[in-house]
Chain A
Amino acid sequence: KAGVTQTPRYLIKTRGQQVTLSCSPISGHRSVSWYQQTPGQGLQFLFEYFSETQRNKGNFPGRFSGRQFSNSRSEMNVSTLELGDSALYLCASSQDGAVNYGYTFGSGTRLTVV
């Protein structure tokens, strides 16, 4: 059974640019959540998508957005990048995030903003 696939693994971007990250969840999982992980703040919840609809949202500015496709694959977009956006972005897959039996995480995308 394939795990959660995130692409790309590493990215270097310049301030002001935008970036799109991709996540393919485990087959059959309909919920995809995105987290930002930094040494200072730990894992911070960005948003959750279920059946192509954003169901939950964390406390991040509108520069952070996402979407989910009919095959449950999800993308996350960050516009007008800031230095503080440098982080590991993790995608978490679950069958139905409303009852959390635990996530399966991808290996993450390491974003560096210079």
Chain B
Amino acid sequence: QKEVEQDPGPLSVPEGAIVSLNCTYSNSAFQYFMWYRQYSRKGPELLMYTYSSGNKEDGRFTAQVDKSSKYISLFIRDSQPSDSATYLCAMSTNTGGFKTIFGAGTRLFVKA
């Protein structure tokens, strides 16, 4: 079993839809939770960073962390064609040595 599980998709939605992207994890030591967006032929770009459980909002993006369920989500409101990209979740811990694990990434298509 992978430490971080993420459905690779692809996920196709119409413009204006609310998008929900999710990851589950097995290591309870993860403390830092991140979402990255990666466009084709580019490196990943940090979208959201959260520490421990709770919600964080930034414009059209909301990140949720539920440590009790080992589940994190990224919501995109009013999705735009420019949101079409691969979204990767990532988690980090300092316990037992620092490490960051990435999910496989979910490919998102937003149709105009």
Which residues of A come within 8 Å of B, CB atoms?
Answer: 4, 33, 35, 42-43, 45, 48, 55-56, 90, 92, 97-108
Summed over the interface, the residue pairs from A and B with CB atoms below 8 Å come to a total of: 51
**In the complex, what distance in Å separates the CA atom of A103 from the CA atom of B103?**
15
**In the complex, what distance in Å separates the CA atom of A43 from the CA atom of B99?**
13
Q: Is the CB of A56 within 8 A of B102?
A: no
Cβ proximity bits B95-112 to A, threshold 8 Å, 1 near / 0 not: 001111111110000000
Known contacts A43-B102, A97-B98, A98-B98; decide if A108 and B43 are in contact (CB<8 Å).
yes
Q: Is the CB of B45 within 8 A of A105?
A: yes
Residues of B close to A108: CB separation below 8 A: 42-43
A-B contact pairs, 6 of them (CB 8 A): A33-B100, A42-B105, A56-B98, A92-B43, A100-B34, A106-B43
Q: Is the CB of A100 within 8 A of B43?
A: no
Asked if B71 lies at the interface with its beta carbon under 8 angstroms from chain A, I say no
Residues of A close to B32: CB separation below 8 A: 100-101
Instruction: Report the interface size class on chain B.
Output: 20 to 34
Residues of B close to A48: CB separation below 8 A: 98
Known contacts A43-B102, A45-B99; decide if A4 and B94 are in contact (CB<8 Å).
no
Which residues of B come within 8 Å of A, CB atoms?
Answer: 32, 34, 36, 41-46, 49, 88, 92, 94, 97-105
**In the complex, what distance in Å separates the CA atom of A11 from the CA atom of B98?**
31
Q: Is the CB of B94 within 8 A of A102?
A: no
Known contacts A43-B88, A98-B94, A100-B100; decide if A4 and B49 are in contact (CB<8 Å).
no
Interface contacts beyond A35-B102, A100-B100: sample of 9 additional A-B pairs, CB < 8 Å, sorted by A: A4-B43, A48-B98, A56-B98, A90-B43, A100-B34, A101-B49, A106-B43, A107-B41, A107-B43
Which chain A residue shows the least CB distance to B88? A43
**In the complex, what distance in Å separates the CA atom of A105 from the CA atom of B34?**
14
Q: Is the CB of A100 within 8 A of B92?
A: yes
Q: Is the CB of B46 within 8 A of A104?
A: yes
Q: Is the CB of B44 within 8 A of A105?
A: yes
